[in-house]
Structures are given as C-alpha cells and as structure tokens.
C-alpha cells in the first residue's frame, strides 16, 4: 500500500486494469486511523484474495509529503483532502477507473468487528459498478456530491 502521489498515473493504471481504487484518508494523531491501517487495510494489501482487484492509496492529512500531483498541480495531502471534501478521518472512498466515486464512503470506525465486511462489500459493489455504472449501488448512499479524481472543480 502506497501513499497517493500521482493521480493521473494511478487513474491510467486503473483504466488499463479496469479496477477500482480504495483511497484512505488518515492522520498520525488518529488512533482509529491506525487501527484501520494496521488491522484492515494492510491485511487487504497483503492478501492474495485482493491482489489485482484494486489499488489502495493513502493520504496522510497531517503530513506535508508526499506532494500529490493532480491536474498539473502539486498539492499537500491536507490540500488534496480538502478538495475531496474530507472533514473526518479515517475516511475510505472507492473510485472507479473513470475517476468518479462509486458506492458510499466509510467515515470513522463505528463497529471494528464489522469493518472488514464494510470494506469488502464496497469493493464488490465498486467492481460491479465498473461493469455497469447505472446500478443503484453505484451512487445511492453517497452523502455529498460524488468526488471526481478527473476534475479540480
């Protein structure tokens, strides 16, 4: 699992492989973030079950590095998080290869015992959305305008 650094390169890879991105926003001071990272996302990243099904990227909002290249501009992680409308960490967002958010995001950690199921359920839905973006699951439940990695508007 790597930090998000070059959005365009990741989008190109996602389009080539037709796989989604799991984007994890976190902070070093956030113990819940550390739990999500250590117990769930690292496990996913190292599991053969998920190999080749998605890319996982992190954005550490209280760090200045790495700068994130997006639409020809460099952003600090916190600037990028603000552009994506992130107000609470941890937050997990799934993006389709076209750069648009699919399925509802996961904000915070409510029931850690169920967190792996939340991640897996959304991954399966994101995979279905790549095949058919008109499915209700692709946009229902998204509580703010869909995020878009292809636009800075």
Task: List the structure tokens of 126.
Answer: 């994101």
Per domain, the residue ranges of the chain are 2-138
What's the token pair of residue 25?
């926003």
pLDDT band of 1, cuts 50, 70, 90 = confident
Burial (CB count <10 Å: 0-12, 13-18, 19+), residue 114: exposed
If you write DSSP's letter for every residue of 47-93 in order, what string do you get?
-TTTTTT-EEEEEETT---S-EEETTEEE-HHHHHHHTT--SSSEEE
pLDDT value, residue 138:
81
Per-residue pLDDT, 145: 67
pLDDT at 45 over 80: yes
| Domain spanning 2-138: CATH superfamily | Glutaredoxin (3.40.30.10)
Per-residue pLDDT of 98-149, as tens digits, reads: 999 999 899 998 778 899 999 999 999 999 999 998 888 887 766 666 788 8
Coil, helix or strand at residue 115: helix
pLDDT of residue 153: 60
């Amino acid at each position: 699992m790597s930090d998000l650094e070059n959005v365009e390169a990741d989008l190109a890879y996602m389009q080539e492989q037709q796989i989604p991105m799991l984007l994890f926003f976190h902070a070093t001071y956030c113990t819940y973030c550390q739990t999500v990272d250590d117990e769930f996302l690292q496990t996913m990243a190292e599991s053969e079950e998920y190999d080749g099904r998605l890319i996982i990227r992190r954005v550490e909002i209280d760090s200045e590095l790495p700068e994130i290249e997006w639409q020809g501009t460099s952003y600090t992680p916190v600037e990028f998080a603000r552009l994506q409308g992130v107000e609470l960490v941890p937050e997990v967002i799934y993006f389709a290869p076209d750069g648009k958010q699919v399925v509802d995001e996961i904000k915070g950690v409510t029931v850690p015992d169920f967190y792996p199921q939340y991640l897996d359920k959304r991954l399966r839905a994101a995979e279905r959305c790549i095949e058919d973006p008109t499915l209700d699951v692709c946009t229902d439940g998204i509580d703010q305008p869909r995020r878009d990695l292809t636009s800075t508007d």
